[in-house]
Amino acid sequence: MAKKNEKTDSDDVKKLKEKLLVRRENGCLQVSDDKLKTADKYCEGYKAFLNTAKTEREVVAYAVAQAEKAGFVPFEAGRPYRPGDRVYSNNRGKALILAVIGEDGCRGGVRIAAAHIDSPRLDLKPHPLYEKDGMSLFKTHYYGGIKKYQWTTIPLSMHGRVVLKDGSCVDLTLGEKEGEPQFCVTDLLPHLADEQMRKTLNKGVEGENLNIVTGSRPVRADSDDSLVRLNAMKILHDQYGMTEEDFVSADLEFVPAFRAVDVGFDRSMIGAYGHDDRVCAYPALTAVLNARKPKNTVVTVLADREEIGSVGNTGLNSQFLHYFVADLAQAEGLEARHVLSRSKCLSADVTAAYDPTYSDVYEPNNSCYVNGGVGVAKYTGGRGKSGTSEASAEFVSEVRRLFEKNGVLWQIGEMGKVDAGGGGTVALYIASLNVDVIDIGVPVLSMHSPFELVSKLDVYMTYKGIQAFYETKE
């Protein structure tokens, strides 16, 4: 006789589900109110940082000032260091390495957290200033992957360094302080935009139309040639001592002039320019500043040029991190290649947060969510995982256990649907040094737009994750 079909009772189903299935719920429900308060408090510091340091140069200046306050001194190659020593190495004012020497030095490898401090923006061309039809404007060349139409009709501020003819440097910021003038790119009124509105978003605003309005009043004179441009140049000369030719030796960047603000009735999010990737740079910086005597030497890297492929001597496709680790190794009588081969790295960069308004480009089971905690990506890349270093199962397991053990709220996901697009980080350049690397970071809404959005809880959990990685005794 056939046995009657047995049913699992509902309590057992509940237990089985708890034991066997992944549970997904809003991360705010998985942490205490006290934790949320701590996250909010941590993010006040982050907002202040966002408002002070909008460009790679400003981040380096900010980080060096904080580091010196925390007892860090310039690194000197060839000098021996002792556990607990705190050093930094400034790469041309645009990238920075900070390290705290571990109890074991670097013989067991170093622990690296790498984030980037450049963000998409409008740079000036070498001959930027021109006058047309009674107005003076700047020609720009955009930097990084932007949707060009998003950069019109928003307030912009000017940041950067001009090296004058005599070689002296002028650092300037204009449009950030209350009462300072700001700048903008114009767009066509809808009344006259019939033709523009028929174009694709990609073509609606072209690169050569990202011209920044700089003035409209001429110098009062009899001649009528270039007098508005002359007036703009006269003001720049009075303020900064520069002539028009000095633009050729300048790094001038225009960025959104907004300040970081809380978003939502519940103030759970921060809206700001340049979360990508200062939202990981700040946790990586604060984690190294707070590191005391780690087991292995910990190294925070704040890199430039990620947004254009990490190319250039301040980007991570340069050897500056390799050289730094080589100097650490040499000071302890070790070979750089042995230290690097035992090293581990959190490549800390933002990932796409699932956007309910554009849900069709995301795969819901494999996306990172706002308030889900620090986002882990086993791999990035595009299409068939093109261009990704991909973390091994073993290294993902190590990081997963580390986060669990330290109460770090985390989630894992991909950028979006397999064929929807893709992106990369600095992970592959560090992996090429034979280091174990995994991508982690804060999920961002409206990434690369002038006003990006992140969750405060996710920012704090990224800090906790890096801190746990630095403090591990394994």
Q: Smallest distance, Å, CB 120 to Mn ion?
A: 7
CA angle 328, 334, 337 (to 5 degrees): 85
Q: What is the residue whose two structure tokens read 């091994």? A: 392
Could you tell me which stretch among 97-105, 215-223, 275-283, 376-384 binds Mn ion (CB under 5 A)? 275-283
3-class state of residue 39 by DSSP: helix
3-class state of residue 467 by DSSP: helix
Q: Which among 338, 345, 358, 368 is positioned nearest to 428, based on CA atoms?
A: 345
Q: Which among 183, 35, 24, 53 is positioned nearest to 117, based on CA atoms?
A: 53
Could you tell me which stretch among 93-101, 253-261, 268-276, 338-346 binds Mn ion (CB under 5 A)? 268-276
Closer to Mn ion by Cβ: residue 247 or 463: 463
Judge contact between 136 and 215, C-beta under 8 A.
Answer: yes
Site string for Mn ion, 311-350 (x = CB under 5 A): --------------------------------------x-
Per rule CB under 5 A, count of chain residues that contact Mn ion: 3
Q: Smallest distance, Å, CB 119 to Mn ion?
A: 7
Closer to Mn ion by Cβ: residue 188 or 308: 308
Closer to Mn ion by Cβ: residue 276 or 414: 276
Site string for Mn ion, 344-363 (x = CB under 5 A): -----x--------------
Closer to Mn ion by Cβ: residue 277 or 304: 277
Q: Which among 339, 338, 304, 332 is positioned nearest to 318, based on CA atoms?
A: 304
Closer to Mn ion by Cβ: residue 231 or 318: 318
Q: Smallest distance, Å, CB 380 to Mn ion?
A: 10
Q: By CB under 5 A, is residue 118 in contact with Mn ion?
A: no
> Encoding tokens for residue 263?
């978003």
Interface positions, 27-66, toward Mn ion (CB under 5 A): none
Could you tell me which stretch among 105-113, 220-228, 277-285, 389-397 binds Mn ion (CB under 5 A)? 277-285
Q: Which among 461, 370, 460, 453 is positioned nearest to 410, based on CA atoms?
A: 461
Q: Smallest distance, Å, CB 455 to Mn ion?
A: 17
- Shortest Cβ contact with Mn ion: which residue? 277
CA distance 36 to 162: 43
Q: Give whole-number Cα distances, 377 to 271, 320, 349, 351, 413, in Å.
A: 23, 25, 10, 8, 6
> Encoding tokens for residue 449?
């737009």
Closer to Mn ion by Cβ: residue 277 or 414: 277
Q: Smallest distance, Å, CB 321 to Mn ion?
A: 17
Give the containing element (helix H, strand E) for 402: helix 393-405
Could you tell me which stretch among 8-16, 196-204, 276-284, 324-332 binds Mn ion (CB under 5 A)? 276-284
3-class state of residue 346 by DSSP: strand
Residues 6 or more apart whose CB falls under 8 angstroms from that of 410 comprise 372, 373, 374, 375, 376, 400, 403, 440, 461, 465
Q: By CB under 5 A, is residue 276 in contact with Mn ion?
A: yes
Judge contact between 216 and 184, C-beta under 8 A.
Answer: no
Closer to Mn ion by Cβ: residue 110 or 115: 115
Closer to Mn ion by Cβ: residue 327 or 349: 349
Helices (H), 267-367: 275-290, 320-331, 336-341
Closer to Mn ion by Cβ: residue 246 or 439: 439
* Binding-site member from 118, 277, 390, 452 for Mn ion (CB under 5 A): 277
Q: Which residues bind Mn ion (CB under 5 A)?
A: 276-277, 349
